Amino acid sequence: MRGVSMKKSLCLLLAAVMILSLTACAGSKHAANSDTETNDIQTKESTSASGDNNGGAAAAKKSVITVTFRDDGRGENSTLWKWLQTAYDSFDKKDSCVLNIAPITACEGDYFAKIALSLQSEKTAPDLVAEDTFQLAT
């Protein structure tokens, strides 16, 4: 009788762990969609804020540099975001390019999957990807 009770307890514990792990990553899909919309708005704002008198012709000549990293949920207040923006602001050729900071807010496994998928196509691949050193082949 004790063995059956132990099996039921173990099953209940495993089910609870599975439910918790699934709900922890459930919000990452919505967050990724809102990040894409935010990045589109930022690119448009930085292009229009350049103050060109030629309209869209001069803005179209600017190259867009897309930087992707794993966001910790703080958005523009995160350390890496601030560092990237500061580096871009002090970049001597920033008049010839537009910085598109594209953070990915996801749990660790989803982040690596999204990076792998985005790198499969030239249209979706970012120019720069921030990775931990344990992910790089030595």
Beta strand spans in 13-81 (E): 63-70
Could you list the residue range(s) of the whole structural domain that residue 108 is in? 26-135
Residue 45 carries which side chain, given as an amino acid letter?
A: E
Q: Per the domain annotation, does 19 fall within a domain? A: no
Question: Which pLDDT value is given to residue 50?
Answer: 47
Question: Which pLDDT value is given to residue 137?
Answer: 61
Q: Per the domain annotation, does 9 fall within a domain? A: no
Q: Per the domain annotation, does 100 fall within a domain? A: yes
Count of domains observed in the chain: 1
* Phi (first) and psi of residue 62, to 5 degrees: -75, 135
Q: Per the domain annotation, does 16 fall within a domain? A: no
Question: Which pLDDT value is given to residue 133?
Answer: 67
Determine contact, residues 60/121, Cβ cutoff 8 Å.
Answer: no
Question: Which pLDDT value is given to residue 52?
Answer: 47
- Tens of pLDDT along the chain (138 residues)? 666 777 778 887 777 777 776 666 665 554 444 455 445 545 444 444 444 455 455 555 788 889 888 888 888 888 888 999 999 999 888 888 898 989 988 887 788 888 888 889 888 899 988 877 666 665
Q: Per the domain annotation, does 70 fall within a domain? A: yes
Question: Which pLDDT value is given to residue 60?
Answer: 56
Question: Which pLDDT value is given to residue 57?
Answer: 53
Q: Report d(CA 104, CA 73) in Å as an integer.
A: 9
Q: Is 69 left (phi over 0), alpha (psi -120 to 50) or beta?
A: beta
Q: Per the domain annotation, does 36 fall within a domain? A: yes
Residue with tokens 């996801």: 106
Q: Per the domain annotation, does 83 fall within a domain? A: yes
Residue with tokens 């919000």: 27
Q: Per the domain annotation, does 120 fall within a domain? A: yes
